[in-house]
Structure 1
Amino acid sequence: MNPIDLTEVLAGFDAPWSPRIVTRVNDYDIRLARFAGEHVWHVHEDTDEFFMVLDGEIEIGVRDPDERVVTLTRGQVFVVPKGTFHKPSSKPGAVVLLVEPSGTLSVGDAHDDVPDHVDVTTGHLV
């Protein structure tokens, strides 16, 4: 039961697309991630996904049902509804806070081929 310094957490890793679990609230992970380049088209069938940009800018491609791009800058939030295919990206990079049920896989329940730079994980504990 001590405060968590997000600046210290960020100083501890630089790998993009490899989220860190900074704490849990009930059955949800609060994750901190670096975004750089493109992730992979994927879907979470049974859960929404919350994005909050702490630094930088991201784009989230969504198919709902038409394909479109949502752009988020520092201080903005967006929720991808469950069952919606989406693909996050960021050029040149960003820091994002994510909220997802514990155990949610970073590439969802279904996804395109996963490139080597994307960590397939349920998050790494800080």
Structure 2
Amino acid sequence: MNKVNLKEKLSKFSDHWNPRIVGELNGQQVKLAKLKGEFIWHSHKDEDEMFLIIKGRLKIEFRDRMVELNENEFFIVPRGVEHKPIAEEEVHVMLFEPAATKHTGEEVHELTNNNQNFI
């Protein structure tokens, strides 16, 4: 059991849309990622996904609306809901999701990474 310093972990990488695992609990993974630009439309059939904004502003587009998240805010995307994250400037985010969650759901794209690593 070790404490986790988010700033230190975030300093270990600079790429975007490539989450790193920083913890696990009760079948859930805690991940950190840096986001910039637009991701792809996708959904997670059987898993909810929580976005907690550490730094910056993230938009999450849905087919019928858009949610804008600022630092220290979080949003839970319900399972099965199609969404597209958009980061106009670099965003640092913590994700909480079941360990079995596929990065882009059933979508396959050049940004898909289902082999995320611990840092």
TM score, norm. by length of structure 1: 0.89
Confirm or deny: 8 A CA contact 1:105 1:122 kept in the other structure.
Answer: no
- The reply to whether residue 40 of structure 1 matches residue 37 of structure 2 is no
Provide the rounded CA distance (Å) in 2 between the counterparts of 1:31 and 1:89: 18
4+ residue runs of structure 1 moved beyond 6 angstroms?
A: none
Q: Counterpart of 2:14?
A: 14
Identity across the alignment (%): 35
Confirm or deny: 8 A CA contact 1:104 1:122 kept in the other structure.
Answer: no
Provide the rounded CA distance (Å) in 1 between the counterparts of 2:112 and 2:15: 9
Provide the rounded CA distance (Å) in 2 between the counterparts of 1:122 and 1:41: 20
**Runs of 5+ consecutive residues of structure 2 not aligned to the other structure:** none
**Runs of 5+ consecutive residues of structure 1 not aligned to the other structure:** none
Q: Which amino acid aligns with 1:13?
A: F
Q: Counterpart of 1:4?
A: 4
TM score, norm. by length of structure 2: 0.94
RMSD between aligned residues: 1.3
Higher relative strand content: 1
Q: Counterpart of 2:57?
A: 57
Q: Which amino acid aligns with 1:70?
A: V
Matched length? 119
Residues 9 and 93 of structure 1, relative CA distance in 2, 3 Å threshold? same
User: Residue 119 of structure 1: CA displacement?
Assistant: 4.2
Provide the rounded CA distance (Å) in 2 between the counterparts of 1:104 and 1:76: 22
Residues 29 and 122 of structure 1, relative CA distance in 2, 3 Å threshold? farther
Q: Which amino acid aligns with 2:117?
A: H
Q: Residues 104-115 of structure 1 correspond to what in structure 2 (within 5 A)?
A: 104-109=101-106, 111=107, 114=109
User: Residue 123 of structure 1: CA displacement?
Assistant: 2.3
User: Residue 47 of structure 1: CA displacement?
Assistant: 0.8
